[in-house]
Chains A and B, each alone.
Chain A
Amino acid sequence: MSDDHVYLTLAEGHDDDTRWAYGTGFEDPLHGVDTTVPDGVDAGELADLCVTLADDALVSAQRLAEWTTRAPELEEEVALANIGLDLLGQARLLYSRAGQVDGTGRTEDAYAYFRDADGFRNVRLAELPNGDFAFSVVRLLVFSSWRLAHFERLTAHRDPVLAAIAAKGVKELAYHRQYAAEWAVRLGDGTEESHRRMRKAQEQVAPYLGELFTAYDVRDEVVAVLRQVTEAAGLPMPVYRPLPGSGRSGEHTEHLAPLLAELQGVARAHPEATW
């Protein structure tokens, strides 16, 4: 095998377990990582937590990828695609960890491609359509602020694999939050029109905040960050009116199924495919 050029190498046959299917195509992202579950860690709970965090990331990554060719400027398109790629990477590691510890030995592809909408545990905030750029900025600000705070806590998790995934994610999420926060300030403190759109986006996002805060106590930290950003942006803190139901228990909006149909279509049509 030649490694002179990445694309030539990809096109060659592989004699090891490298598999090129579905667009992820890579071998196990936790390849060669010690898979032991430490004593005192409940494997089922750990697997559920990993799947939940992976679902949030996978669905968000899919929405972010939809901005490709549609973002206001090339730089924003590249930024949003990169943020999506980081989240996709986090999802792959987390699904792989879940499959290792839940006893089924499921691969990342089994989680991503062969579960239906009611099997997904992502927050509904992640699956809402992209809307305008302001909506995507407000959503990303809320989501990345919450995920960063949560991951920062998870760096102390007793499962060393989850803790390591979180430690890596913290560095990436800090960049995501920074990006969203700077855009929130620019738009909130921009023109009348951009301010109006940010207000509208805040109203649309507010009902979905509650789902993020149920399981882990990072609410105060996240609210403090949102307050810091809204003050700098000249925006009000939105009034929180929770919606019934939760994506965490598999109750989703009508928007998740079409998203998954697009994400899963090729894999389901050709379940044995290798590239």
Chain B
Amino acid sequence: MVITLLDARRARRIAEQVPDPELPMLTLADLGVLRDVSLTEDGTVVASLTPTYSGCPAMAEMRAGVAARLRDAGYTRVEIRTVLDPPWTSDWITPDGRRKLAEHGIAPPGAAPARPAGPVPLVLAPTRRSVPCPRCGSADTEETSRFAATSCKALWRCLACREPFEYVKEI
């Protein structure tokens, strides 16, 4: 039993270290997509992953990455499960993950909007949200596009240092 507990912890540590294919400065644990790692009685490692966006093309790669790392570490039976509920939120990006994003010039997300049950309101007034520039720290920035090279990011630019930067959207 003790061995099993240790083994489960080791498996979790290994799975946690797998890098995200599109944001390789983050591990899957940093991104908050690794929902659970457990060991069944017959010694199968069960790792549960959740997609960030429905169309995230990195999902298959994440599954393959986790399975490969665990097999390399000696776990012969590995099962990867997809968890859809609850849906991923950018709030699950860890403090460590946020720090790494900023270090790599990507502005981390703010708190995701609370979504009460019922119709989703449409707000047309410009939202006064300030995203500090991850390079120079200036708050004088503006959004150039709400969509960017991957689903999870928006494009911004800094009006002080003139650098464009990416920003992980709140979702």
Q: Which residues of A contact B (CB under 8 A)?
A: 1, 3, 6, 9-10, 14, 16, 18, 25-27, 29-33, 75-76, 78-79, 81-83, 85-90, 92-93, 145, 148-149, 152, 160-161, 163-165, 167-172, 174-175, 177-179, 181-182, 185, 221, 225, 228-229, 232
Contact = CB atoms under 8 A, between A and B. Distances in A.
Contact of B147 (A14, A78, A92, A171): A78
B59 A26 contact: yes
Given A32-B80, A78-B148, A164-B87, A172 B57 contact: no
B124 A181 contact: yes
Given A3-B65, A6-B22, A89 B81 contact: no
Interface string B137-154: 000000011111101000
B132 interface: no
21 contacts: A3-B64, A3-B65, A6-B61, A25-B60, A26-B60, A32-B48, A33-B83, A75-B144, A78-B149, A79-B145, A85-B55, A85-B57, A89-B55, A149-B119, A152-B120, A161-B84, A164-B84, A164-B87, A167-B86, A168-B51, A169-B54
Nearest to A34: B81
A205 to B, nearest CB: 18
Contacts of A78: 145, 147-149, 155
A90 B55 contact: yes
B151 A225 contact: no
B64 A16 contact: yes
Interface in B13-61: 18-19, 21-22, 48, 51, 53-61
Contacts of A175: 146-147, 169, 171
Contacts of B144: 75
B112 to A, nearest CB: 9
A165 B26 CA distance: 25
A165 B54 contact: yes
Contact of A1 (B64, B79, B86, B120): B64
A181 B58 CA distance: 29
Contacts of B63: 27, 31
A18 B57 CA distance: 13
A88 B92 CA distance: 24
B54 A89 contact: yes
Contacts, number: 139
A161 to B, nearest CB: 7
B6 to A, nearest CB: 25
Given A14-B64, A31-B80, A93-B54, A82 B151 contact: yes
Contacts of B19: 3
B146 A171 contact: no
Contacts of A30: 82, 84
Contacts of A31: 63, 80-82
B147 A181 contact: no
A229 B64 contact: no
B67 interface: yes
